[in-house]
Amino acid sequence: MGLMEWLSRDRATTPRGESTEAQLSRAVERECEALQRFGLPVPEVRHALRVSPVGIRLPIYELPRHLFFPVSARAGEYMGFTLVPGCPDEFWRAQSTFGFAGLHKVIERFAGIWLNRDPYGLFRRLNWLGEFGGDFGTHENMSRWLAIAPLRPVQALTVEEVYDRITWRSRCFGALFDSRSFPLPMDNDAIPNARCRDALDLAATIPPKARPRRRIFEAKPAVFDVVPPPDVRRFAEQFLKGLHGIKGLFAVETVAGAGAARMRLLCDDVHGASVERLVTTFGGAVRHFQASDVDDLPQVIYKVEGHPQSPFGSFDTTATPGAGSGESLLASLVNLAPAERCCVQVVFAPLPVDFWRLLHEELMCVGSLDEGVLGRLDELSSKFPAWQMAVRLFGTRPEIVRRLCDLWLRQCGHGARMWRFSEAELGPFDRKLEAWEVVETAELASMVQFLAR
């Protein structure tokens, strides 16, 4: 039975003296009208309202498949982004996008609406009461449980605002706290009044200059073909220590196609001369490419993102990349068909020095932290000078991208269990630093060593 049909029948059969039933009917009808006004589907009645001499058994509703991402606009006030997927595949893609990239990427890719609260909050609450709360036979009880703010639209947050005020903080809490504290969306099975650890008022108190940033090259980057000395690992660590003082965006890529593969280093054009001096200072050779020389990958290409299984966890930097794999990365990638291309990309930037200190101060203001959280915070603080880093794999066919994932796991020396990869999807080739990890210089050097082999 449809919910609006049930409401119509209920109004005709409910005795006028039953104020509790009438109150429930009015509240549910108001919510249904609000959902229809915003183009959201109305829940179906699974079990109808039941009245007995001892009280009222509340109805149970079948909520439509949806995702609600609650965020706090300011102290004590919540709002959220509501997404109603058109099909199950879109639902899982939205969840996967949130897990790998964050809420900013969800609102960038999927159509939704910003509202002042959970649009299915009342039905979620009634379901919980109906299944676990027993009978409610008094007007006072019903008034308390039906109290909810009118549903209304709110000003939408932009992609940049969501990243700057939510995404980086979500990743930090995912690394510091257990999974129960990691911000998760509410779906049709979520319990009422669920909160996620994503308060914008806390993030806003950390100065913007001290926050991790969403980065992209603003113009054509400077590109260098780097030839490292024989001791690649030592060169990489020395070079990166010098590079950390340059507050810019960098990328190291191994690009393969047309029977050849090469490693290249990219940086903001304004830092090109400084980066070239660092390469030669520590024994490397460099050849400068013009920007037009690196447009050798299709503008639309398959890509995946790689993340360690444990957020911000430490890598085994003592392992030798490629050991026992039988061939190097460069040798593995040159055996492509003439028209095929692929790229293994590590994008990185210095993490602001004051970031973890300020975050630690904010956390201590919020409440006491257990030893586990403090230990993880100390472990992350020990990585400084630290980097934001993203690993991305590109290929002209999904099969090539999957092969790159296998090569990364076999040759990177960190172990298959420590990495997970997103699903391959077709999109533009880019060098964005969005879904990042925190790594120390030695860990980043192991990545560069891997790409140079």
Neighbouring residues of 91: CB distance < 8 A, sequence distance ≥ 6: 65, 67, 85
Round to whole Å and give the CA distance between 332 and 335: 6
Query: Which residue shows structure tokens 């079948």?
Result: 62
d(CA 171, CA 358): 16
Residues 393 and 306: beta-carbon distance below 8 Å: yes
| Whether 41 contacts 188, CB under 8 Å | no
Query: What fold does the segment set 222-452 form as a domain?
Result: Vanillyl-alcohol Oxidase; Chain A, domain 3 (3.40.462)
In order along its 453 residues, the chain shows pLDDT tens digits of 444 444 444 443 334 444 667 888 888 999 999 999 999 999 998 888 777 766 667 788 999 999 888 876 555 566 888 988 888 888 888 888 887 777 888 888 899 999 988 899 889 888 887 776 555 555 456 667 777 889 999 888 888 888 777 777 766 766 666 543 445 677 777 766 544 444 444 455 677 777 777 778 877 888 888 888 888 888 888 888 888 888 889 998 888 887 777 788 888 888 888 888 898 888 888 877 665 455 678 888 999 888 777 666 666 666 554 443 434 666 666 677 778 888 889 999 988 877 777 777 777 765 666 777 777 777 777 777 788 888 899 999 998 888 888 887 776 655 545 777 888 888 888 888 877 888 888 888 887 776 665
Contact 351, 390 (CB under 8 A): no
Domain boundaries, the chain: 67-119+150-201, 222-452
The residue count of the chain comes to 453
Nearest of 110, 20, 22, 37 to residue 68 by alpha carbon = 110
